C-alpha cells in the first residue's frame, strides 16, 4: 500500500484574464494559499506555459518547476485534453470544435488534426522535460454520434471508427513510450473512450499498449450509472490519474440520464463540488490506497451551484481529509507470538 499524493488542483477551469488567474506565478501562489500541494497544468494555456519551449528546453522546464516550488506547489501533470479532442473529430462536430484550434486552422479539419497531434506530442516531450511520467488527454470521437443507434448502426461502423481512432493514436503512444510518459485518457462521455468497454476496444486495437492508461473520474461514471467502485477493481493496473469531482443523479418523471437538453442546473444528473454530491469518496480513497495507486488526487472543480473559488478551497480540505496515510504495521502486531518456521510446523502437527 502507499499514501496517495495530494491535494492537487486542475487549473483549466480557473485560468482567466484577471489576476491572480492570468499568470503562472499568480495562479500557483493562489492554489497554494487554497491549501493545494500540486497543480495540473493545461498545456495549451499560453498564459501559464510556453509549450514550444517546454517541449524543447529542460532549462525552461527547470525554471518552471522552480517557480512552482517557490510558491509552495509542484506540477503534478500536464493536460492535453483540448488538443487530444482534436485528434479525432466527427464531421458533425467540426464547427463546434473549431474554436479549440488556432484561428488560421478553422474550417480545415486536416490541418487542425495535424496541429493537434503535434500539440499532444509536444505535451509528451514537455512532460518528460519536467520529469513527469504521465499526462492527461481526451481521445476524441469518431463514433460518438452513433452511441444510441437510431436508425440501427450498419454492421462494422463502430469497428471502423475504432480502427481509425487507434491508427491515429498508435504513433503518439509509441512516441510517449520512447519518452517514458503514460497517456491517461479521461474516460468521458463525448469521447469514444467513455467507459470500460470502449476503452477495451481501443486497447485491443493498439495491442494493449503499455502507455495507454485511464484518467479515473467517478463523476462521469455516476452520471452514466456505471459501478465506479468495481471499475477501480477491474482497471487497477491501467488507472494512471485520478480527478476528484463529485456528481449527483436525481431522475424524475420528466428526465433521466440523457438530461432532456436542460442546462446543468436543471439536469437530473449534474456535477457538484467534492462532498456535495453522491460519490462515495471514502470507498474510493480506500481502494486507491489498497491498490498502490502512485499518483495524485487532483480536484477538478465543476459545479452547477458553487462559486469556483469556494469549491477550490473546500476541495483542498476535502481531499486532505480523505487521503489515507497508510499503515506501516498490522493492527494486531501486539499479539505476535514470534513463532518461527519450526514452531509453525509443530502447530500444524507437522513438526518433530
Q: Is residue 197 part of a domain?
A: yes
Owning domain of residue 144: 5-347
Q: Is residue 127 part of a domain?
A: yes
Q: Is residue 220 part of a domain?
A: yes
Residue 74, strand partner residues = 38
Mean pLDDT to the nearest integer, 62-67:
98
Is it true that the peptide bond before 234 is cis, omega within 30 degrees of 0?
Answer: no
Reported as a single tens digit per residue, the pLDDT across 81-119 is 999 999 999 999 999 999 999 999 999 999 999 999 999
Residue 11, strand partner residues = none
Pairing of strands 212-216, 239-244: parallel
Q: How many structural domains are present in the chain?
A: 1
CA 244, CA 318: separation in Å to the nearest integer? 10
Reported as a single tens digit per residue, the pLDDT across 257-300 is 999 999 999 999 999 999 999 999 999 999 999 999 999 999 99
Mean pLDDT to the nearest integer, 314-330:
91
Please report which residue ranges of the chain form alpha helices under DSSP H.
Answer: 24-34, 51-56, 58-70, 81-85, 94-98, 109-129, 157-179, 196-205, 218-224, 228-234, 281-290, 308-322, 341-347
Using CA atoms, how far residue 46 sits from 22, 105, 201, in Å, is 10, 18, 34
CA 312, CA 10: separation in Å to the nearest integer? 10
% of the chain beyond a pLDDT of 70: 98
Reported as a single tens digit per residue, the pLDDT across 137-187 is 999 999 999 999 899 999 999 999 999 999 999 999 999 999 999 999 999
Mean pLDDT to the nearest integer, 330-339:
68
pLDDT (0 to 100) of residue 57: 98
Q: Provide the pLDDT confidence category of residue 328 given band limits of 50, 70 and 90.
A: confident
pLDDT (0 to 100) of residue 333: 67
pLDDT (0 to 100) of residue 342: 87
pLDDT (0 to 100) of residue 351: 74
pLDDT (0 to 100) of residue 326: 87
Instruction: Give the mean pLDDT of the chain.
Output: 96
Q: Is residue 329 part of a domain?
A: yes
pLDDT (0 to 100) of residue 341: 86
Reported as a single tens digit per residue, the pLDDT across 190-218 is 999 999 999 999 999 999 999 999 999 99
% of the chain beyond a pLDDT of 90: 92
Q: Domain with 258 in it: what CATH number?
A: 3.20.20.150
Q: Provide the pLDDT confidence category of residue 343 given band limits of 50, 70 and 90.
A: confident
Mean pLDDT to the nearest integer, 39-45:
98
Residue 315: pLDDT above 90? yes
pLDDT (0 to 100) of residue 211: 98
Q: Is residue 352 part of a domain?
A: no
Mean pLDDT to the nearest integer, 327-331:
73
The C-alpha cell that represents 225 in the structure block: 450509472
Q: Is residue 111 part of a domain?
A: yes
For the chain, state the CA radius of gyration: 22
Residue 297: which of 310, 280, 284, 313 has the closest Cα?
284
Amino acid at each position: 500500500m502507499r499514501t496517495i499524493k495530494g491535494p492537487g488542483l486542475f487549473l483549466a477551469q480557473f485560468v482567466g484574464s484577471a489576476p491572480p488567474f492570468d499568470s503562472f506565478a499568480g495562479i500557483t501562489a493562489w492554489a497554494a494559499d487554497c491549501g493545494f500541494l500540486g497543480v495540473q497544468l493545461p498545456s495549451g494555456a499560453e498564459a501559464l506555459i510556453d509549450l514550444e519551449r517546454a517541449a524543447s528546453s529542460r532549462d525552461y522546464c527547470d525554471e518552471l518547476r522552480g517557480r512552482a516550488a517557490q510558491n509552495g506547489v509542484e506540477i503534478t501533470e500536464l493536460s492535453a485534453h483540448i488538443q487530444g479532442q482534436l485528434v479525432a473529430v466527427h464531421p458533425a462536430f467540426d464547427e463546434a470544435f473549431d474554436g479549440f484550434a488556432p484561428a488560421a486552422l478553422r474550417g480545415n479539419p486536416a490541418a487542425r488534426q495535424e496541429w493537434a497531434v503535434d500539440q499532444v506530442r509536444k505535451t509528451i516531450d514537455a512532460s518528460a522535460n519536467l520529469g513527469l511520467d504521465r499526462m492527461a488527454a481526451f481521445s476524441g470521437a469518431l463514433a460518438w454520434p452513433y452511441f444510441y443507434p437510431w436508425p440501427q448502426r450498419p454492421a462494422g461502423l463502430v469497428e471502423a471508427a475504432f480502427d481509425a481512432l487507434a491508427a491515429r493514436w498508435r504513433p503518439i503512444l509509441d512516441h510517449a513510450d520512447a519518452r517514458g510518459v503514460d497517456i491517461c485518457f479521461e474516460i468521458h462521455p463525448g469521447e469514444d473512450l467513455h467507459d470500460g468497454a470502449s476503452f477495451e476496444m481501443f486497447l485491443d486495437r493498439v495491442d494493449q499498449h503499455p502507455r495507454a492508461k485511464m484518467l479515473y473520474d467517478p463523476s462521469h461514471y455516476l452520471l452514466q450509472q456505471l459501478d465506479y467502485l468495481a471499475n477501480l477493481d477491474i482497471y487497477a493496473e491501467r488507472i494512471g490519474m485520478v480527478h476528484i469531482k463529485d456528481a449527483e443523479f436525481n431522475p424524475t418523471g420528466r428526465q433521466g440520464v440523457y438530461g432532456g437538453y436542460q442546462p446543468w442546473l436543471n439536469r437530473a444528473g449534474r456535477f457538484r463540488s467534492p462532498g456535495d454530491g453522491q460519490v462515495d469518496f471514502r470507498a474510493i480513497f480506500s481502494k486507491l490506497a489498497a491498490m498502490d495507486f502512485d499518483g495524485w488526487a487532483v480536484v477538478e472543480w465543476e459545479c452547477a451551484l458553487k462559486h469556483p473559488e469556494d469549491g477550490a478551497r473546500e476541495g483542498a480540505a476535502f481531499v486532505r481529509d480523505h487521503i489515507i496515510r497508510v499503515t506501516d504495521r498490522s493492527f494486531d502486531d501486539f499479539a505476535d507470538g514470534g513463532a518461527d518456521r519450526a514452531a509453525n510446523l509443530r502447530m500444524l502437527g507437522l513438526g518433530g
